[in-house]
Amino acid sequence: TQLLEQSPQFLSIQEGENLTVYCNSSSVFSSLQWYRQEPGEGPVLLVTVVTGGEVKKLKRLTFQFGDARKDSSLHITAAQPGDTGLYLCAGEYNFNKFYFGSGTKLNVKP
Amino acid sequence: ETGVTQTPRHLVMGMTNKKSLKCEQHLGHNAMYWYKQSAKKPLELMFVYSLEERVENNSVPSRFSPECPNSSHLFLHLHTLQPEDSALYLCASSQDGRARGKGYTFGSGTRLTVV
Protein backbone atom coordinates (compact mmCIF):
# COMPACT_ATOMS: atom_id res chain seq x y z
CA THR A 1 0.00 0.00 0.00
CA GLN A 2 1.41 3.33 -1.05
CA LEU A 3 1.00 6.19 1.38
CA LEU A 4 1.21 8.72 -1.44
CA GLU A 5 -0.58 8.20 -4.73
CA GLN A 6 0.57 10.20 -7.71
CA SER A 7 -1.42 10.52 -10.89
CA PRO A 8 -1.16 10.12 -13.72
CA GLN A 9 1.76 7.70 -13.78
CA PHE A 10 2.71 8.73 -17.30
CA LEU A 11 1.93 11.82 -19.33
CA SER A 12 3.03 12.61 -22.86
CA ILE A 13 2.08 16.00 -24.28
CA GLN A 14 3.06 18.45 -26.98
CA GLU A 15 5.11 21.53 -26.31
CA GLY A 16 2.90 24.46 -25.35
CA GLU A 17 0.17 22.42 -23.65
CA ASN A 18 -0.85 22.81 -20.03
CA LEU A 19 -0.94 19.95 -17.56
CA THR A 20 -1.68 19.12 -13.94
CA VAL A 21 -0.31 16.26 -11.88
CA TYR A 22 -1.63 15.18 -8.51
CA CYS A 23 -0.37 13.83 -5.22
CA ASN A 24 -2.94 12.35 -2.85
CA SER A 25 -3.04 10.65 0.53
CA SER A 26 -5.55 9.76 3.21
CA SER A 27 -3.16 11.12 5.80
CA VAL A 28 -2.31 14.68 6.79
CA PHE A 29 1.12 16.09 5.95
CA SER A 30 3.13 18.50 8.04
CA SER A 31 4.68 19.68 4.80
CA LEU A 32 5.00 18.49 1.24
CA GLN A 33 7.78 18.76 -1.28
CA TRP A 34 7.91 18.42 -5.04
CA TYR A 35 11.04 17.20 -6.81
CA ARG A 36 11.96 16.76 -10.46
CA GLN A 37 14.28 13.96 -11.49
CA GLU A 38 15.88 13.92 -14.92
CA PRO A 39 17.18 10.69 -16.47
CA GLY A 40 20.48 9.62 -14.96
CA GLU A 41 20.27 12.16 -12.14
CA GLY A 42 18.95 12.40 -8.61
CA PRO A 43 15.80 14.32 -7.68
CA VAL A 44 16.08 18.08 -7.33
CA LEU A 45 13.84 20.02 -4.95
CA LEU A 46 11.38 22.37 -6.66
CA VAL A 47 9.27 23.61 -3.75
CA THR A 48 8.14 23.00 -0.19
CA VAL A 49 4.58 23.82 0.90
CA VAL A 50 3.64 23.94 4.54
CA THR A 51 0.31 25.72 5.04
CA GLY A 52 -3.05 24.30 3.97
CA GLY A 53 -4.33 26.14 0.88
CA GLU A 54 -0.88 27.51 0.11
CA VAL A 55 -0.06 28.30 -3.50
CA LYS A 56 3.49 28.78 -4.72
CA LYS A 57 4.67 29.73 -8.19
CA LEU A 58 7.97 28.96 -9.80
CA LYS A 59 7.98 30.52 -13.28
CA ARG A 60 5.50 28.36 -15.27
CA LEU A 61 4.97 25.92 -12.41
CA THR A 62 2.19 26.43 -9.86
CA PHE A 63 2.04 24.29 -6.73
CA GLN A 64 -1.00 24.05 -4.53
CA PHE A 65 -1.36 22.42 -1.12
CA GLY A 66 -4.85 21.21 -0.27
CA ASP A 67 -6.77 22.95 2.51
CA ALA A 68 -6.72 19.76 4.60
CA ARG A 69 -3.03 19.18 3.85
CA LYS A 70 -3.75 15.72 2.41
CA ASP A 71 -3.17 16.47 -1.25
CA SER A 72 -1.25 18.66 -3.62
CA SER A 73 -1.14 19.52 -7.28
CA LEU A 74 1.44 20.77 -9.70
CA HIS A 75 0.28 22.72 -12.74
CA ILE A 76 2.60 23.50 -15.63
CA THR A 77 1.64 26.18 -18.12
CA ALA A 78 2.91 26.04 -21.70
CA ALA A 79 5.09 22.99 -21.14
CA GLN A 80 8.50 22.87 -22.76
CA PRO A 81 10.77 19.92 -23.62
CA GLY A 82 13.01 20.98 -20.72
CA ASP A 83 10.16 20.12 -18.34
CA THR A 84 10.53 16.45 -19.23
CA GLY A 85 11.31 14.30 -16.21
CA LEU A 86 9.93 12.36 -13.27
CA TYR A 87 7.97 14.53 -10.85
CA LEU A 88 7.98 13.23 -7.28
CA CYS A 89 6.04 14.41 -4.29
CA ALA A 90 7.25 13.74 -0.76
CA GLY A 91 5.03 14.17 2.29
CA GLU A 92 6.27 14.79 5.81
CA TYR A 93 4.23 12.62 8.22
CA ASN A 94 6.27 12.95 11.36
CA PHE A 95 9.14 15.21 12.25
CA ASN A 96 11.58 14.99 9.38
CA LYS A 97 10.10 11.72 8.08
CA PHE A 98 9.33 12.04 4.39
CA TYR A 99 7.64 9.43 2.24
CA PHE A 100 7.85 9.64 -1.52
CA GLY A 101 5.25 8.84 -4.14
CA SER A 102 6.05 6.75 -7.25
CA GLY A 103 6.11 9.82 -9.42
CA THR A 104 4.61 11.08 -12.66
CA LYS A 105 6.77 10.58 -15.71
CA LEU A 106 6.29 13.57 -18.00
CA ASN A 107 7.41 13.69 -21.62
CA VAL A 108 7.05 16.96 -23.49
CA LYS A 109 7.44 16.53 -27.23
CA PRO A 110 8.81 19.39 -29.35
CA GLU B 1 27.30 20.02 -9.57
CA THR B 2 24.76 18.90 -7.00
CA GLY B 3 27.09 18.96 -4.01
CA VAL B 4 26.55 15.25 -3.38
CA THR B 5 28.83 12.93 -5.32
CA GLN B 6 28.22 9.22 -5.67
CA THR B 7 30.59 6.61 -7.04
CA PRO B 8 30.49 4.48 -9.00
CA ARG B 9 27.72 5.66 -11.33
CA HIS B 10 27.15 2.12 -12.60
CA LEU B 11 27.93 -1.22 -11.00
CA VAL B 12 27.36 -4.77 -12.18
CA MET B 13 28.04 -7.45 -9.61
CA GLY B 14 27.52 -11.14 -9.16
CA MET B 15 25.51 -12.51 -6.28
CA THR B 16 28.65 -13.68 -4.49
CA ASN B 17 30.58 -10.44 -4.84
CA LYS B 18 31.29 -7.80 -2.23
CA LYS B 19 31.25 -4.17 -3.29
CA SER B 20 30.79 -0.74 -1.75
CA LEU B 21 28.97 2.38 -2.83
CA LYS B 22 30.42 5.71 -1.84
CA CYS B 23 28.77 9.05 -1.19
CA GLU B 24 30.46 12.35 -0.41
CA GLN B 25 29.01 15.77 0.39
CA HIS B 26 30.74 19.08 1.04
CA LEU B 27 27.64 21.12 1.80
CA GLY B 28 28.18 21.19 5.54
CA HIS B 29 25.11 19.01 6.06
CA ASN B 30 25.07 16.75 9.09
CA ALA B 31 22.43 14.21 8.05
CA MET B 32 22.89 11.66 5.28
CA TYR B 33 20.55 9.08 3.81
CA TRP B 34 20.48 6.04 1.54
CA TYR B 35 17.43 5.55 -0.66
CA LYS B 36 16.57 2.75 -3.06
CA GLN B 37 14.68 3.62 -6.26
CA SER B 38 13.11 0.78 -8.23
CA ALA B 39 11.00 1.12 -11.35
CA LYS B 40 7.38 2.11 -10.66
CA LYS B 41 7.93 2.11 -6.90
CA PRO B 42 8.26 4.97 -4.43
CA LEU B 43 11.71 5.86 -3.20
CA GLU B 44 12.41 3.60 -0.26
CA LEU B 45 14.31 5.06 2.68
CA MET B 46 16.97 2.58 3.78
CA PHE B 47 19.18 4.28 6.34
CA VAL B 48 19.50 7.64 8.05
CA TYR B 49 22.59 9.01 9.73
CA SER B 50 22.49 12.15 11.83
CA LEU B 51 25.74 13.50 13.23
CA GLU B 52 27.40 10.24 12.15
CA GLU B 53 25.04 8.09 14.21
CA ARG B 54 22.60 5.75 12.56
CA VAL B 55 19.15 6.93 13.60
CA GLU B 56 17.03 4.84 11.28
CA ASN B 57 17.23 1.42 9.68
CA ASN B 58 14.06 0.60 7.78
CA SER B 59 14.06 -3.19 8.00
CA VAL B 60 16.76 -3.44 5.40
CA PRO B 61 18.27 -6.91 4.85
CA SER B 62 21.64 -7.44 6.48
CA ARG B 63 23.27 -7.91 3.07
CA PHE B 64 23.24 -4.08 3.00
CA SER B 65 25.59 -2.56 5.57
CA PRO B 66 25.98 1.21 5.91
CA GLU B 67 28.96 3.07 7.28
CA CYS B 68 29.34 6.75 8.11
CA PRO B 69 32.92 7.51 9.16
CA ASN B 70 32.32 11.29 9.28
CA SER B 71 29.64 13.79 8.40
CA SER B 72 30.91 14.15 4.81
CA HIS B 73 31.10 10.50 3.81
CA LEU B 74 28.64 7.65 3.63
CA PHE B 75 29.18 4.13 2.36
CA LEU B 76 26.87 1.25 1.56
CA HIS B 77 28.61 -2.11 1.71
CA LEU B 78 27.01 -4.84 -0.36
CA HIS B 79 27.45 -8.60 -0.13
CA THR B 80 25.60 -11.67 -1.42
CA LEU B 81 22.96 -9.56 -3.12
CA GLN B 82 19.95 -10.89 -4.99
CA PRO B 83 18.79 -9.93 -8.50
CA GLU B 84 15.80 -8.10 -6.96
CA ASP B 85 18.29 -5.73 -5.33
CA SER B 86 19.02 -4.27 -8.75
CA ALA B 87 17.96 -0.63 -8.57
CA LEU B 88 19.18 2.96 -8.46
CA TYR B 89 20.71 3.71 -5.07
CA LEU B 90 20.51 7.36 -4.14
CA CYS B 91 22.43 9.15 -1.44
CA ALA B 92 21.04 12.37 0.01
CA SER B 93 21.98 14.90 2.64
CA SER B 94 20.18 17.61 4.62
CA GLN B 95 20.97 20.16 7.25
CA ASP B 96 20.36 19.38 10.91
CA GLY B 97 18.32 16.29 10.04
CA ARG B 98 15.46 18.54 8.93
CA ALA B 99 14.70 18.13 5.29
CA ARG B 100 11.77 20.54 5.48
CA GLY B 101 12.52 23.87 3.90
CA LYS B 102 15.61 23.23 1.86
CA GLY B 103 14.78 19.59 1.24
CA TYR B 104 17.15 16.82 0.51
CA THR B 105 20.16 17.26 -1.78
CA PHE B 106 20.49 14.07 -3.78
CA GLY B 107 23.43 12.59 -5.60
CA SER B 108 23.10 11.25 -9.13
CA GLY B 109 22.86 7.70 -7.85
CA THR B 110 24.55 4.38 -8.50
CA ARG B 111 22.76 2.15 -10.99
CA LEU B 112 23.27 -1.34 -9.55
CA THR B 113 22.68 -4.53 -11.52
CA VAL B 114 22.97 -7.87 -9.75
CA VAL B 115 23.53 -10.81 -12.09
A53-68 burial code (b ≥16 CB/10 A, e <16): ebeeeeeebbbbbbee
What digits encode the pLDDT tens for the residues A19-29? 999 999 999 99
Q: How distant is the Cα of A41 from the closest Cα of chain B, in angstroms? A: 4
What digits encode the pLDDT tens for the residues A78-93? 999 999 999 999 998 8
pLDDT of B99 reads 66
| Interchain CB distance below 8 Å, B99 and A98 | yes
Calpha distance B115→B25 (Å, rounded): 30
pLDDT at B96 over 80: no
Q: What residue of B is the nearest CA neighbor of A41?
A: B108
Chain A residues within 8 A of B101 when measuring between CB atoms: 48
Q: What residue of B is the nearest CA neighbor of A33?
A: B103
Mean pLDDT in runs of 10 for chain A (110 residues)? 86 98 93 94 94 96 96 98 97 81 96
pLDDT of B110 reads 98
Least Cα distance to B33 among B108, B114, B94, B86 occurs for B94
Calpha distance A35→B107 (Å, rounded): 13
For residue B19, the cross-strand partners are B78
pLDDT of B102 reads 78
What digits encode the pLDDT tens for the residues B98-115? 667 778 999 999 999 999
What digits encode the pLDDT tens for the residues B54-85? 777 778 999 999 999 998 999 999 999 999 99
pLDDT of B59 reads 83
Calpha distance A6→A73 (Å, rounded): 9
Cβ neighbour number for residue A108 with a 10 Å cutoff? 20
Least Cα distance to B31 among B54, B9, B13 occurs for B54
Calpha distance A24→B21 (Å, rounded): 33
Element of type H or E holding A49: strand A44-49
Calpha distance B46→A45 (Å, rounded): 20
